[in-house]
Each structure stands twice: as C-alpha cells, then as structure tokens.
C-alpha cells in the first residue's frame, strides 16, 4: 500500500468530473487500498474520493468508525429530509462550513468483487456519502456552504 498526496483546493483536478470505472481489476483495488491508507494516515479524515489523490475515477472510501466502506461508481438514488451539518475537507485545509444536506441517502455502488450493493446512510454517514460523491462531480463543500469559517 502507498500513501498518496492529497490535492488541495487550487488543484484543477478537484473541479473535474470523474469517469465511471468500467472494470474492477487489480489496479482499481490497489487504488482503493492506497486511498484507505492515505485517509487513515491523515488522522482526521472520515472519507476520501479518488480526485483528492489525483485520480479521476468514481472511487470513494469511508470509515465513520464502524469499518471501512469501499464504493465503486457510487450514486445517490434516493434522499429524504434535511439536516444542517458542519463539514471540513482534507482538500480544503483549515476551513469549515455549514451546509444543508439530506438527512438520509440511499446509495448504489459496486463492491470490490464487482457486485452491486446498496447502502443507506443517515446523519453523519449521509453527510459523508454526499460529500464524497460531490467530489466525483468536481464539487467541493465550499461551493454549497451557507457559511465558511477558517480555523
């Protein structure tokens, strides 16, 4: 596994749309593992999307304290309710924002075995899923924030 460099807000790759993964192969699995190692290495990240490490693929890793979730080609298929949340981002260091996010989201994705699965997130997991999937569209939390503050 390898620790990859996290791209910071001014990097143009963060504003590009990621491409769908056509084939879940060893290279994709290696990228997911590297992303997880990179996220854990930061000490404070709950999720990481491939564009944040310079790869325009629809890949996300999340760990909200209940184990690692790897998502390939994730997409939100349902959402409900609203919640006001505070978000930060490894690619936007030193800034936090207040946003409105869905209270619950249903996400479809592929797992490491190329099998389709569904995950339903509420509260913080819903927030994290939305945040990371936004990265795949070239959207940062600061684009949606009601208010952004610096540390």
Per-residue pLDDT tens over the stretch 62-71: 999 999 999 9
Domains in the chain with CATH codes: 12-150 (3.90.45.10)
132 counts as catalytic: yes
Per-residue pLDDT tens over the stretch 92-144: 999 999 999 999 999 999 999 999 999 999 999 999 999 999 999 999 999 99
DSSP 143: H
Dist CA 28 CA 24 (whole Å): 6
Given the residues 66, 112, 115, 132, the one annotated as active site: 132
Dist CA 34 CA 149 (whole Å): 30
Helix (H) or strand (E) segment spanning residue 135: helix 123-136
Candidates 99, 100, 107, 106; CA nearest to 82 is 100
Q: Can you tell me whether residue 93 is helix, strand or coil?
A: strand
């Amino acid at each position: 596994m390898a620790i990859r460099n996290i791209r910071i807000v001014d990097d143009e790759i963060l504003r590009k749309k990621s491409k769908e993964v056509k084939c879940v192969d060893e290279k994709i699995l290696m990228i997911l593992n590297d992303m997880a190692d990179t996220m854990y290495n930061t000490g404070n990240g709950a999720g990481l999307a491939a564009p944040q490490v310079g790869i325009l693929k629809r890949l996300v890793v999340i760990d909200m304290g209940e184990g690692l979730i790897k998502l390939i080609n994730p997409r939100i298929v349902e959402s409900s309710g609203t919640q006001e949340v505070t978000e930060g981002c490894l690619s936007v260091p030193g800034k936090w924002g207040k946003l409105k996010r869905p209270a619950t989201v249903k996400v479809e994705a592929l797992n490491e075995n190329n099998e389709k699965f569904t995950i339903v997130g509420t509260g913080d997991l819903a927030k994290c899923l939305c945040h990371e999937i936004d990265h795949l569209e070239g959207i940062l939390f600061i684009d949606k924030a009601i208010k952004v503050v610096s540390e």
